[in-house]
Amino acid sequence: MKISYFPGCTLKTMAKDFEDSALASASCLGIELVELPRWNCCGTVYSLTSDDLIHQVAPIRNLIRVKEQEDNRVVTLCSMCYHTLKRANKLVREDREKLDKLNNLMYREDVKYDGEIEVLHLLEILKNEVSFNQIAKKVKIPLKELKVAPYYGCLLLRPPEIGLDDAENPTILKDFLESIGAEVIDYPYQTECCASYHTVVNVDLVVERAHDILSSAINQGAEAIVLSCPLCGFNLDNRQKEIKEKFSDFKGIPVFYFTQLLALSLGLDEKVCGFELNFVDPRHLLKSKHLTGRV
C-alpha cells in the first residue's frame, strides 16, 4: 500500500529517529510512505483567530501538494502536524467562503483545493488498515517486561471533533503497545498538556508540568514513556536536565517515539531506531530487558 507522507520540519532534524524508525517499520508492514514533493511547514500552530486566514495557507498548500500526487490521503507522524493539517482541513470543508478565499490567495497553484484530502496519523493506519492483530503477528521481539506509559498530550485528541480517539479515555496507544507485547501502565496524566511552546519562554512552567507527568507515570511503575510528538518529546525528554536541577530526587525516565519501539519489536536494524538521539539514553534499559543486541 502506497500513501502520501507529510514529514514536517522536526522529523528532518531533531526527530530524525522518529522518521527513520517510522519509515522502516511501515515498509516492514507493507506500507510505502511516499514523501510529498515540495512540502512546506505545516503552519505549526493552528490559529484560533477567526480573521486570520493567512495562517491557513501553509496547511492547505500541503493538501494541494497531496492532490497533485493524485492521492486522497496524507499521513503524518508528528501530532502537531496532524492537528494543524486536520483542523485546517475541517475549517475549509465547513466554510466554503474561506476555502474560496484561500484558493484565490494561492491563485498560482495549478490545482484548486476542494476539501477532498483525508488527513491521517500513522497510528490510525496501523489500527485501521494494518490492524493491531496483524502487527502482533509480525512482532519478532515482543517487548515483554517493558513497562511503558503512553502519553497522548493534547493534539492527538483535542478538540474531540478532530481527535483520533476518545478525548477522555483514549486507548489507541495502549492497544498499540499491547500488540507489540509491552506491559502498559495506566496513569492519570496521559492526556495532560506538556506545556507545549511555553518551553521557549517559560521553562519553569514546562519543568513543573513535565515533572508531574513523568513522576505520575514513574509512581505507577513505568520504565519508559511513549509518545508521538517531537515537541512533547522535547519537553518530556530533553527538559529532564532542568527537572533534575529543580527536583533533586527525580530519577529520570527514557522517552520513546512509538515507532522506535515498533521498529525494535519488528526486529529491524537497531540503527533505524536512532536511540542515540534520545536525550535520556534508553539503551541501558533496553539491554537490561534483553531487547537489544539480539540481532
Partner 1 sequence: MSRIGVFVCHCGLNIAGTVDVEKAARLMSNYPGVIYASDYVYMCSDPGQDMIKEVVKEKKLDGIVVAACSPTMHEITFRNTVASIGLNPYRCEIANIREQCSWVHQDNKEIATEKAVQIIEATVEKLKLDKSLVPLSIPITKKALVIGGGIAGIQASLDIADSGYEVVLVEKNQSIGGHMLQLSETFPTLDCPQCIATPRMVQVGQHPKIKLLAYSEVEEVSGYVGNFKVKIRRKVSFVDWDKCTGCGLCIEKCPVKVLSEFDEFLAKRKAIYTLFPQAVPNKPVIDSNNCLYFTKGKCRACEKNCSVKAINFEQKDSFIEEDVGAIIVATGYDLMDKAEIGEYGYGKYEDVIDGLQAERVLAPAGPTNGIPYRPSDGKIPKEVVFIQCVGSRDPEHYYPYCSKVCCMYTIKQAMLYKHAVPDGQAYVFYMDIRCNGKGYEEFLQRGIEEDRILYIRGRVSKVFKDGDKIEVWGADTLTGRKIEISADMVVLAMAMVPSQGVKKLAEKLRLATDEYGFLTEAHPKLRPVESLTAGCFLAGAAQAPKDIPEAVAQASGAASKVLSLFSQDVFYHEPIIGSVDEEVCVGCGNCVNICAYDAVELDLVTKVAKVNPALCEGCGACSAACPSGAMQQNNFGKRQIFEMVDAFTKG
Interacting residues with partner 1 (CB under 8 A): 166-169, 188, 216
- Smallest gap from Cβ 209 to partner 1, in A, equals 12
**151 vs 234, which CB is nearer to partner 1?**
151
Least spacing, CB of residue 1 vs partner 1, in Å? 33
Question: Residue 247, by phi and psi: left (phi above 0), alpha (psi -120 to 50) or beta?
Answer: beta
Q: Identify which of residues 106 and 167 has a Cβ nearer to partner 1 in the complex.
A: 167
Three cell numbers written together for 33: 510512505
Is the link from the previous residue into 159 a cis peptide, with omega within 30 of 0? yes
Nearest residue (CB) to partner 1, 198 versus 244: 198
Q: How far is the CB of 233 from partner 1 (least distance, A)?
A: 23
Q: How far is the CB of 168 from partner 1 (least distance, A)?
A: 4
Nearest distance, CB of residue 169 and partner 1, angstroms: 5
C-alpha cell at 19: 522518521
Q: How far apart are alpha carbons 87 and 184 in whole angstroms?
A: 30
Nearest to partner 1 of 216, 238 (CB atom)? 216
Please state the separation of Cα 282 from the chain's center in Å: 19
Residue 30 or residue 188: which is nearer to partner 1 going by CB? 188
